[in-house]
Each structure stands twice: as C-alpha cells, then as structure tokens.
C-alpha cells in the first residue's frame, strides 16, 4: 500500500465516524462504481464538505483533484501532500507533473475524483441555482486513459446555509483568490443522499475524434447528473 493510500485510509477511519455523527448520509448506486481499473468519479460541488462526504461512502481510495490554492490553507498543505490530492490551477491549466500523477492514478487502477464545476458554484453563492458550467478536464483525462466515468450527485435533504466564520481579510492574507476570499455563505449539510449513476463506458466514445468525444462526455455526464437531480426534486 502506498503512503498516500495508507494516510487516506487512516484519516477515513478517524473522520468518517465523526462525519456520520454530524451528517445523516444516505447512499444509492454504489454498485455502479467499477470495482477495479482506473475510473473517474464526477459530481456536483455545493459545499467544502463534498469530498469528505464522498470519501466516507465509497469503499475505495480516491485521489482528488483540487484547486492549487487549497495548499495555502493552514493544515491543508500537508494533508493534500499526504493523501494524494492533485493540485490544478483555477484557470484549468494542469502542470506536466500533475498530468503525470493523475494518469498514474488511473493506470494504477485507482479512482480519480473531480468536481467539474470547480469552485464556480460556491462563488456564485446561489444554492437554489442549477449547476455551473463544467470544465472539460475530466473528459480529456477519461479520453486519454480510456477510463469509465461514474457521475454522482450529492442531494441536499437538510442543510444550513451560514456565514463563513473566517473573514475575507484573513482568507485574502493566506493567499486565497479574491473571488474565493469573498464567498459570503457556505452549505453545512445535516442530511444528504449520494446517488451514483451507471458509468459512461469507454466503448461509447473511444472511436470518436477527440473534440467530439470531449463534447460527448461533457454532455452525457451533465445530462446524467441532471436526470438524478430531476428525480430527486433538485433544481436543474
């Protein structure tokens, strides 16, 4: 077992029981996640709690892609380094080293976790709005690795929208981007339902030209997530 996976599993063993005390987490469709081979989990991003919620219900190691600036948050730098989180610039650019790392995750048969909205939904700060537009990175990674994509949705059943306790001034001082530093409100989940849809398999897109395949994956993934949202009574 790699060091990152060991740290991830140890943290999960400690944090998941605490999270489950704080949040009533229901789950549906875990059987839709392939049990082996590189695969990509792609979901909506309403709260900073999202990766912890998903990690608590998925019985596998997940290497998350996160905004590069999260490494500037106190405590998070070492946590990110030790759990295999892969940093990405908020403009969508990915360094060569990050591309090598995320491709190695998929080649090793592990799970890559991505929120294709980035932080855009939380910056917009309208929690009754539909999802923000998707960044295309996950589709490109899936295409290059010939990896299945498993769309998921975190459905808020009960939540509290509250002011972020850390002031914008302090958030700016630690180096967060201006639009992130000035996010006024956050979702604090009390009860959620996590729904995993059937995977989008490589056979559906591997014969397409790259741009056509990327467009297909963006559309198919978003449509799949929106179907879950409609079924669960969320805004689409």
Give residue 184's pLDDT: 97
| pLDDT tens digits, 129-143 | 999 999 999 999 999
The number of domains in the chain is 1
Question: Is residue 132 assigned to a domain?
Answer: yes
Confidence of residue 93 (pLDDT cuts 50, 70, 90): low
Domain residues for 30? 3-231
Give residue 71's pLDDT: 76
Residue 7, C-beta contacts closer than 8 angstroms, at least 6 positions apart:
82, 83
Residue 120, C-beta contacts closer than 8 angstroms, at least 6 positions apart:
132, 133
Question: Is residue 101 assigned to a domain?
Answer: yes
Question: Is residue 236 assigned to a domain?
Answer: no
Give residue 144's pLDDT: 94
CATH number of residue 97's parent domain: 3.40.1130
Confidence of residue 94 (pLDDT cuts 50, 70, 90): low
> Poorest-confidence range of 30-44, 62-76, 185-199, 217-231?
62-76
**CA 223, CA 236: separation in Å to the nearest integer?**
10
Give residue 72's pLDDT: 76
Sheet holding 24-28, edge to edge: 24-28, 185-196, 149-163, 39-43, 111-114, 62-67, 86-88
pTM: 0.93
Q: Among residues of the chain, what percentage have pLDDT more than 70? A: 95
| pLDDT tens digits, 123-179 | 999 999 999 999 999 999 999 999 999 999 999 999 999 999 999 999 999 889 999
């Amino acid at each position: 077992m790699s060091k990152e996976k060991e740290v991830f599993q140890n943290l999960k063993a400690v944090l998941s029981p605490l999270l489950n005390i704080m949040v009533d987490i229901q789950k549906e469709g875990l059987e839709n996640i392939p049990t082996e081979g590189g695969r990509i989990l792609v979901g909506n991003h309403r709260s900073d709690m999202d990766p912890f919620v998903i990690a608590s219900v998925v019985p596998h190691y997940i290497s998350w892609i996160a905004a590069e600036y999260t490494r500037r948050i106190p405590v998070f730098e070492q946590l990110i380094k030790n759990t295999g989180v892969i940093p990405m610039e908020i403009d969508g650019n990915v360094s060569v080293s990050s591309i090598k790392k995320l491709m190695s995750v998929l080649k090793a048969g592990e799970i890559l976790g991505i929120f294709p909205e980035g932080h855009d939904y939380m910056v917009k700060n309208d929690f009754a709005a539909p999802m923000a537009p998707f960044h295309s990175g996950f589709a490109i990674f899936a295409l290059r690795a010939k990896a299945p994509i498993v769309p998921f949705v975190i459905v808020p059943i009960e939540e509290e929208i509250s002011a972020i306790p850390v002031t914008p001034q302090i958030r700016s001082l630690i180096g967060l981007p201006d639009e992130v530093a000035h996010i006024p409100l956050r979702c604090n989940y009390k009860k959620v339902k996590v729904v995993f849809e059937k995977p989008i398999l490589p056979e559906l897109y591997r014969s397409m030209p790259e741009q056509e395949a990327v467009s297909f994956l963006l559309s198919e993934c978003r449509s799949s997530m929106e179907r879950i949202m409609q079924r669960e009574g969320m805004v689409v």
